Amino acid sequence: MEKETLDIFKYGDKILKLQAIEIKNIDENLINLSKNMTKAMYFSNGIGLAAPQIGKLIQLVIIDLTVGEDPDESLILINPQILESHGNETDDEGCLSFPGITLNIDRKIKILLKTIDINGKEITREFENLKARVIQHEIDHLKGVLIIDRISRLKKEITKNKIKKLKLNGEW
């Protein structure tokens, strides 16, 4: 019997730094994986999850800013690519691979995204504000880029020390 939720890999796991490969075909396994990823994301109160965070090096992303409140808002992105981006905004970001940590990250405000949906249909669509931020964050995961990679060396050292404290206290 399959267990209820997938394990989410945390900062320090080497898989999070690897490049995810393009998905060539959408089959039942991929559809089931996307459903299990969605459950894991909701279970962790997340609004985005990339396949590398659960140990799968494929270009699959789940996003739902409503955390399951409105199933129609859920997005499954396969092989997502940002074609254009505009504006800049710095804001706090969390990450399921960095529990208990938020960092101030600079992102584009508006993006033009090309992706494939779970039905194999290619979609090109504009996103802005929080949804654009979350998409950029998750696409970073597909490239092996983490939020800690987007901050200064000093802030990185402070964050690493904070993580050490969280681990010592059993909160990580």
Q: Residue 127 forms beta bridges with which residues?
A: 111
Task: Report the C-alpha gap between 172 and 169 in whole angstroms.
Answer: 8
Helix (H, G, I), strand (E, B) or coil at 69: coil
Helix (H, G, I), strand (E, B) or coil at 101: coil
**154, HSE (Cβ side, Cα atoms, 13 Å):** 0
Cα–Cα–Cα angle for 1, 20, 56, rounded to 5 degrees: 10
Q: Say whether 138 is catalytic.
A: yes
Place of tokens 């800013």: 65
Name the catalytic one among 4, 69, 138, 171. Answer: 138
Task: Report the C-alpha gap between 73 and 162 in whole angstroms.
Answer: 34
> Which tokens is 150 given?
């987007």
**Among all residues, which ones are annotated catalytic?**
138
